Amino acid sequence: MDKALTENYIALLREELIPAMGCTEPIALAYGAAIARQVLGQLPRRTRVVVSGNIIKNVKSVIVPHTGGMRGIEAAVAAGLVAGAAEDGLEVLSRISEEQVEAIGAYYEEAGITVEQSSSDRVFEIDLTAEAEGHAVRVWITDHHTHVARVSRDGETLYQGDLPCSEASAADRSQLSVERIVEFAETADLEPVKELLDRQIEYNTAIAKEGLTGKYGAGIGRVLMLSYGDNVSNRAKAWAAAGSDARMNGCELPVVINSGSGNQGLTASLPVIVYARELGVSRETLYRALLVSNLVTIHLKTGIGCLSAYCGATSAGCGAGAGVTYLYGGRFEEIAHTVVNAVAINSGVVCDGAKASCAAKIASAVEAGLLGMQMYMHGRQFLGGDGIVTKGVEATIRNVSELAREGMRETDREILRIMLECSGGTDACSD
C-alpha cells in the first residue's frame, strides 16, 4: 500500500477515534456553552439556544453526566455554563466536582435558558447566545461536534472557521474502500495507531463492565447475559449493549467514539475485543481486526452522513462483523460478503434519537454483523437484486448512502414530530 494512502488512513483514525464523556450531542452543547461562558467572563443571565432538529432528537432523552440525572438541552447547556472546561473538548464535563453538580442544579432552575428549533437546512447546528451585564456572546457550531464555525462578542467576530468540518478534515474519506481497508489493516505499521487502539480497548471495555454491573437504563446488556448465556456471540452483543446502557444513562466514564458517536465506537470495538479474547489471538491480530472494524464503520457512516434517520449502529455492526471475520482469517472476499450480508439484514433501521433503547439496537446490529459472517462461512449470501443489495460491495454501500441521505429525509422529520409530541417517564403500555 502506498505511503500517501497509509498516512491518510492513519489521519482518519486520529480524527475519528477520540474520547468523549456522555452522548456526544449534549456534550457538544455543553462544549459550546463552556466557550460562551469563557468569552463572556461570567455566568449569563439569559441564554438562547437555536439547534437543528437532529440535535433535539439526540439530546431529548439522554442523561447528561455529572448533573445528578438531568436530561435535555437545557441541562447540557447549564452544565457547560457552570462547570464546563472548554479546553477538554468532548470531555468538557469530565472534571466536575460534587459542589459543582449542586451549582448546576441551582443554576438550571433560574438560568433563563430558552430553546428553539433552527429554520436552516443544516443537519448539525448549535447556535448559542449568552447574555449578561449588557454583553452578548454568540457561539456557532456546525457540521461536527467540535467544529466552532464562529464566536462573536457584542457583534464583533473573534473567531471564524473558514470551512465546514468535512472540507477542513485532514483526511480524504473518498479514498476509503473495503479492499483498501483490508490491505491497510494487513500491512500497516502499527506504531502510529497503537496508542489510539489501546485507548479504545481500555475505555470501551471499562464502560461495558460498568454497564453489566451497574443499574443503567433498561439494562439490555444484563438482560442478554441473564437470558441467553455466556457463549461468545451473546457476550459480544451484551458487552456492546452494556456500554450503551451506561453511556446513555449518565455514566461518567469516557468512551472512544467512531464517526462522532460513542454508540458507534462501542459497537465497532467491543464485539471484536470479545471475540479476540475468546479465540486467544495475539494483540497484533486484535489491533488489525480493530482497524478493519473501525475503518469499515467510518466508510459506511461517511456515505450515510451525520445524524441521519438511518441508525448509525447498523453501520458499526457491519464494521464489527468485518472485524470478527478478520479474526477468523477472513480477508477481502470474506469481509466484503460479510458487509453486504449485514447491510441487507438491517437496512433501513431508523434512528429515533439517543436514548436507553439504543442499547437494544446495538445488540441487533451486532447480531446482523455476526450473522452476515456466519452466512458466508456456510456458503450463503445475499445476491444483487435482493432489496438494496447490488453487485459489488462498494456499489451496495453507495445504495445504503442514498437510502440514508435522500430516501429517509422525510422519515427524519416525521420522527422528530412524533418525538416532540410524546410524553416521557410513563409506562408505554398503560393508557
In a domain, 98, yes or no: yes
Whether residue 238 is found in the same domain as residue 151: no
**Which cell goes with 77?**
447547556
Q: What are the residues whose beta carbons fall under 8 Å from the beta carbon of 373, sequence distance 6 or more?
A: 321, 324, 325, 328, 330, 334, 338, 341, 342
In a domain, 426, yes or no: no
Q: What are the residues whose beta carbons fall under 8 Å from the beta carbon of 61, sequence distance 6 or more?
A: 71, 353, 354, 355, 356, 424
Residue spans of the chain under pLDDT 70 = 162-170, 423-431
In a domain, 428, yes or no: no
Whether residue 140 is found in the same domain as residue 194: no
Instruction: List the one residue out of 250, 382, 371, 244 whose CA is nearest residue 311.
Output: 244
Whether residue 202 is found in the same domain as residue 62: no
Whether residue 207 is found in the same domain as residue 91: no
In a domain, 154, yes or no: yes
In a domain, 363, yes or no: yes
**Which cell goes with 218?**
433498561
Question: Tell me, what CATH number does 97's domain have?
Answer: 3.30.1330
What pLDDT score does 395 carry? 95
* Neighbouring C-beta atoms of residue 178, cutoff 10 Å: 24
- Using CA atoms of 12, 16, 18, 20 in order, give the dihedral in degrees to the nearest 10: 170
Residue span of the structural domain in which 120 resides: 21-167
Whether residue 290 is found in the same domain as residue 394: yes
The number of domains in the chain is 2
pTM, 2 dp: 0.93
Residue that is last in its domain, among 138, 167, 196: 167
Whether residue 58 is found in the same domain as residue 207: no
Q: For 147-201, how does the pLDDT look when each residue is reduced to its tens digit (9 = 90+)?
A: 899 999 999 999 887 434 333 456 889 999 999 999 999 999 999 999 999 999 9
Whether residue 348 is found in the same domain as residue 285: yes
Whether residue 107 is found in the same domain as residue 239: no
Residue that is last in its domain, among 113, 135, 167: 167
Whether residue 28 is found in the same domain as residue 64: yes
In a domain, 429, yes or no: no
What pLDDT score does 164 carry? 40
In a domain, 39, yes or no: yes
Question: Tell me, what CATH number does 400's domain have?
Answer: 1.10.4100.10
The DSSP code for 88 is G
What pLDDT score does 169 carry? 58
Residue that is last in its domain, among 124, 150, 167: 167
Whether residue 307 is found in the same domain as residue 372: yes
* Neighbouring C-beta atoms of residue 381, cutoff 10 Å: 15
**Which cell goes with 249?**
444513562
* Neighbouring C-beta atoms of residue 205, cutoff 10 Å: 18
Whether residue 150 is found in the same domain as residue 183: no
Whether residue 193 is found in the same domain as residue 149: no
What pLDDT score does 415 carry? 86
In a domain, 5, yes or no: no
